[in-house]
Structure 1
Amino acid sequence: MNLLNTLTKKAPWLNRYATMYIAWVIVFLSFSSASILVVLSNATAVSCAFWRVFLASLMLWSARLLRGGVRGFSALNRATAYSILAGLFLAIHFLLWMESLFLVPVAVSTTVVVTYPLLSVLIDRIVFKENLYPLQIVGLVAGFIGVFLFMQPWVLGAYNSYGVLLSFGGAIAAACYFSLGRSIRRGASLTGYTLPAYTSASVFLLVYALVSGEELINYPLQAYLCFILLALIPMVGGHTLVNYMLRYVKTSVATSIALAEPIGASILAYFILNQQLDLSKVLVMTITLSSIAAVIIQEVRSKSELT
């Protein structure tokens, strides 16, 4: 994230708007690969979730130590406590969503899980007392209709509708995670938030794995390669950049790149996993993603987003 700040300082024409667009492109490319890597790992959902956040934590802690140790970190305070709570929601998000990838196609799972900007608008309304506009209400209703349609046999076919519920549960957890992040990032540095959040998420997932008896270690080399890529690309290159943007824009705007994730993931799933898309799935995907777009467009129109 220092790289983006450095680019802005060295190139005056590269203002914060341009920096945000660069970040969005990187996040899109990063997020699109996540579901593919999970499926290719042939590991359990909890293993993919644990290694993703644990290795990402190691990478960020290593970078922090190389830059001057842990100065700036204080004892447990309100921001740290909220960061740990955010880590719990992050762990739940990954666990539910990754499990859904083994029950429904990548296109369906990613489209449902990216409804979290819709839920973020509701949270922003309740917590931050922000306005909810008519277009956003229409978008919310249409988005939830899209999720309901995904559970219908004529759309899912032989797949398990439980996977849709898991993915939607992952969306709820993601909305809570990002909304907490927005609140925390108003007064905390990027690493001051992400380090306790990612570290606590890995601890929560480790405890869950131990209690449930899930295997975390005995996997082939291909699985560990996928774990490393999950930590490096969608976690550090995706989630961490979104957390960077939360300091400057609303939650729903920072997470708006989610709109493109199902498209990128579906294309990759077609070529790599040989997952086909029929007309019914494309239709419901269009309804759901259009509803999210309507909500975000209204957010942008309501007022200037960058501070």
Structure 2
Amino acid sequence: MEKPVVHPLIPIIIGVFSVALSAIFVKMTSADSGVTAFYRMLFSVLLMSPVFFMKYTQEIKKLSKKDWAFTSIAGIFLAFHFILWFESLNYTSVASSTVLVTLQPLFAFAGTYFFFKEKLSVKTLVSGAIAVLGSVLIGYGDFKISGSALYGDILALIACALITGYLLFGQDVRQRLSLITYTFVVYSFSTITLFFYIIAKGESFGPYPASEWMWFLLLAIIPNLLGHTLFNWSLKWVSTNVISIAILFEPVGAAILAYFILGELLSSSQIIGGTVVLCGIILFVADYGKIKSFFFRKRG
């Protein structure tokens, strides 16, 4: 396998900071969850189209039936991830939602073990368990606040499982497809899925004020084309586990932004739970040898 032009950790870090803005942008919109997700993906596809059609259309012919199946499933998973996560933000806080939706190690560890036979060290399992404990503390605090907050937490957790599935399918396909082709096809399937979802739900495609279109466009450019695309690029060289752990830093940035921009205060359970989650991340990062083995891994 060829070496990447930069260490994969660099684009992963940039991607984490980019997706941290997603919850803020969503909170600023007034459109239905499905509509917000649809325009986020549609604008992403439209912005990618010139590059794709100029240089990458021939690669479409190389897609096998397996590649088409995996990319379509990844696109559907991504669509419903956005629907459920955006909906969760209507019931719970940015801090709680982003912590739970990025709690991917629980699902990523199981997925990479069963589908890619990646071995998990005891320290990796312990770090994941600590992060899960942190999310439980957050959910418990929200339950005491209101049942609707807990409902939002549950939606965020399901969205977490879906985004992990999306990354797992991408981890396989990205070994054979270029970043642009894979991302364009996945985003296209996601857009089509969301289009039919909106029709089925009877939601409105518009009209919306100019401010709404600005948030839709920002969602496409920063969290999607910068954040998720960098994650997809990294999947050629790193395990889904590495990205899942790194994304756990997103709630920190999102919570800080929500405090200054939206005026959302942090409860004691959110602070304690978030701290526990970060402890799990630090334990994983401290296991440098394990992380190093995830990078530039050989394909059997």
Relative to the length of structure 2, the TM-score reads 0.90
Say which of 264, 269, 274 aligns to 2:263. Answer: 274
**1:23 alignment partner, one of 4, 11, 25:** 11
Deviation at 1:151, TM superposition (A): 2.5
Equivalent position of 1:11 in the other structure = none
CA RMSD of superposed structures (Å): 2.0
Q: Using the alignment, how far apart are the partners of 1:282 and 1:27 within structure 2?
A: 24
The corresponding residue for 1:90 is: 78
In structure 2, the residue corresponding to 1:43 is in which secondary structure?
Answer: coil
Deviations 1:7-59 (A, max 9, x none): x4xxxxxxx32xx3431342133111100000101221111111111110111
Matched, 1:112 2:100: yes
Report whether the alignment pairs 1:200 with 2:192: no
Deviation at 1:258, TM superposition (A): 0.9
Residue pair 2:242, 2:291 contacting (<8 A) in 1 also: no
CA contact (8 A) 2:133 2:273 kept: no
Structure 1 distance, partners of 2:11, 2:276, is 26
Distance 1:293 1:155 in 2: 27
Deviation, 1:230, is 0.1
Identity of aligned residues (%): 30
Letter in 1 for 2:10: I
Which of the residues 55, 58, 83 maps onto 1:68? 55
Following the alignment from structure 1 to structure 2, what is the Cα–Cα distance between the partners of residues 174 and 117?
A: 11
Give the corresponding residue for 2:149: 160
Q: How does 1:219-230 map to 2 (within 5 A)?
A: 219-230=208-219
Structure 2: gaps spanning 5 or more residues: none
Aligned position for 1:264: 253
Structure 1 match to 2:241: 252
**Which stretch of structure 1 is more off in the superposition, 166-175 or 218-227?**
218-227
Per-residue deviation at 1:186? 1.1
Q: Deviations over 1:150-170 (max 9, x none)?
A: 232567524520000000000
Partner of residue 290, structure 1: 279
1:133/1:298 contact within 8 Å kept: no
Aligned partner (choices 15, 25, 47) of residue 35 of structure 2: 47
Specify the SS of the correspondent of 1:146.
helix
| Residue matched to 1:131 | 119
Cα contact 2:15–2:228 (8 A) shared by 1: yes
Partner of 1:172: 161
Contact kept, 8 Å, 2:48 with 2:184, in 1: the verdict is yes
Q: Which amino acid aligns with 1:35?
A: A
Cα distance in 1, alignment partners of residues 33 and 293 from structure 2:
39
> Residue in 2 aligned with 1:13?
none
> What 5-or-longer segments of structure 1 have no aligned partner?
9-15
Moved over 6 A (4+): none
Equivalences, count: 291
Amino acid at match of 1:278: S
Q: TM-score, normalised by structure 1?
A: 0.88
